């Protein structure tokens, strides 16, 4: 029987009403999982995954997917400067406290992976395991500039056909294995039923100052704190222009116990919707339980 998925709400320290999806029991069970989406993505990207994680037989687990501020059903921030890693990290800490989560397994896609590494530097004992989905300590400028070029800048489509065409124009090279059904599903997670973006266009402010001559600082200290705190699984899209194979190799060198896998036919960031990707995540989470 599929796990029931419901909405939960909490408040940020600066008063925003923020939203998350929850699957599984309200009572304690196995280690809970918290999923963190990409820069302009929402909890909807994890609906299938949290359902799978929460359907755990005799000992089901709680699984959450967070709508960061300005995304999904969470309040939008009147000050776009607050769409930043430090503020979103504070929101994540507020969420863990509101849900009474002392220790968790984190699954972070892109921006969510950055938040996972950042949390390890301030609350390492809260992390029992981490899946970094196409995220690492070094972000390639090619991918950053491509993402900067579309976040908050895609015109509102007049139809679902136009929505799919827009996504193909921007991301077609990243996802050559996508079927027409995959593109339509991705569009439905990008816009709501009124074809309104699920993410605040003002999120483009998160890329202010990012250019080819001003790369973001590497996060090796944060990654090493994460590697010291918990087991890590890294997912990389075969065609990713944000996380390079060289960076994954260096991550492995610095954290020899780290596991990694490359998702064929996908780029940045792999969608976690298909059984062949969900299965290894569920298996990794189970191993974190055992440890």
Residue 261 confidence (pLDDT): 97
Measured CA to CA, the distance from residue 223 to residue 160 in angstroms comes to 39
For 254-291, how does the pLDDT look when each residue is reduced to its tens digit (9 = 90+)?
999 999 999 999 999 999 999 999 999 999 999 998 77
Predicted model pTM? 0.95
131, pLDDT greater than 70: yes
- Percent of the chain at pLDDT > 70 equals 97
Q: Crossing angle, helix 111-122 and helix 85-98, to 10 degrees?
A: 70
CATH number listed for the domain at residues 5-140+218-290: 3.40.50.1820
Q: How many CA atoms lie within 13 A of 69 on its CB side?
A: 29
Residue 46 confidence (pLDDT): 98
Residue 289 confidence (pLDDT): 85
Nearest alpha-carbon partner for 208 in 81, 71, 39: 81
Residue 163 confidence (pLDDT): 96
Q: Report how far Cα 165 is from the mean position of its chain's Cα atoms.
A: 24
What residues have CB less than 8 Å from 203, skipping those under 6 apart?
39, 40, 70, 71, 80, 83, 151, 152
For 204-228, how does the pLDDT look when each residue is reduced to its tens digit (9 = 90+)?
999 998 888 888 899 999 999 999 9
User: Tokens 């969420």 correspond to what residue?
Assistant: 95
pLDDT band, very low/low/confident/very high, at 86 (cuts 50, 70, 90): very high
**Percentage helix, strand, coil for the chain under 3-state DSSP, each rounded to 5:** 40, 20, 40
Q: How is residue 5 annotated by DSSP? A: E
Q: How many CB atoms lie within 10 A of CB 145?
A: 14
For 56-77, how does the pLDDT look when each residue is reduced to its tens digit (9 = 90+)?
655 678 999 999 999 999 999 9
Residue 27 confidence (pLDDT): 63
Residue 21 confidence (pLDDT): 98
Residue 58 confidence (pLDDT): 57
Q: Alpha carbon of 94 to those of 38, 81, 86: distances in Å?
A: 19, 19, 12
Q: Calculate the average pLDDT of the chain.
A: 94
Mean pLDDT (whole number) for 106-135: 98
């Amino acid at each position: 029987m599929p796990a029931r998925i419901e909405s939960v709400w909490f408040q940020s320290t600066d008063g925003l009403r923020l939203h998350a999806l929850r699957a599984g029991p309200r009572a304690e069970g196995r280690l809970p999982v918290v999923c963190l989406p990409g820069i302009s993505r929402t909890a909807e990207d994890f609906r299938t995954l949290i359902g799978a994680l929460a359907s755990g037989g005799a000992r089901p687990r709680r699984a959450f997917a967070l709508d960061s501020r300005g995304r999904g059903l969470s309040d939008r921030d009147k000050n776009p400067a607050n769409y930043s890693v430090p503020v979103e990290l504070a929101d994540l800490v507020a969420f863990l406290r509101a849900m009474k989560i002392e220790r968790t397994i984190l699954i972070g896609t892109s921006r969510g992976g950055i938040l996972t590494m950042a949390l390890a530097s301030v609350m390492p004992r809260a992390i029992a395991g981490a899946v970094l989905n196409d995220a690492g300590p070094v972000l390639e400028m090619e991918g950053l500039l491509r993402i900067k070029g579309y976040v908050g800048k895609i015109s509102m489509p007049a139809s679902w056909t136009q929505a799919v065409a827009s996504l193909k124009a921007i991301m077609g090279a990243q996802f050559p294995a996508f079927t027409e059904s995959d593109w339509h599903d991705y569009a439905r997670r990008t816009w709501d039923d009124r074809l309104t973006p699920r993410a605040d266009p003002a999120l483009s402010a998160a890329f202010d100052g990012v250019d080819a001559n001003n790369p973001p600082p590497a996060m090796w200290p944060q990654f090493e704190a994460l590697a010291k705190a918990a087991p890590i699984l890294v997912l990389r899209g075969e065609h990713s222009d944000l996380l390079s194979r060289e960076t994954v190799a260096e991550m492995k060198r610095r954290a020899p116990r780290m596991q990694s896998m490359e998702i064929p036919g996908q780029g940045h960031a792999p969608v976690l919707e298909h059984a062949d990707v969900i299965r290894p995540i569920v298996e990794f989470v189970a191993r974190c339980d055992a440890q």
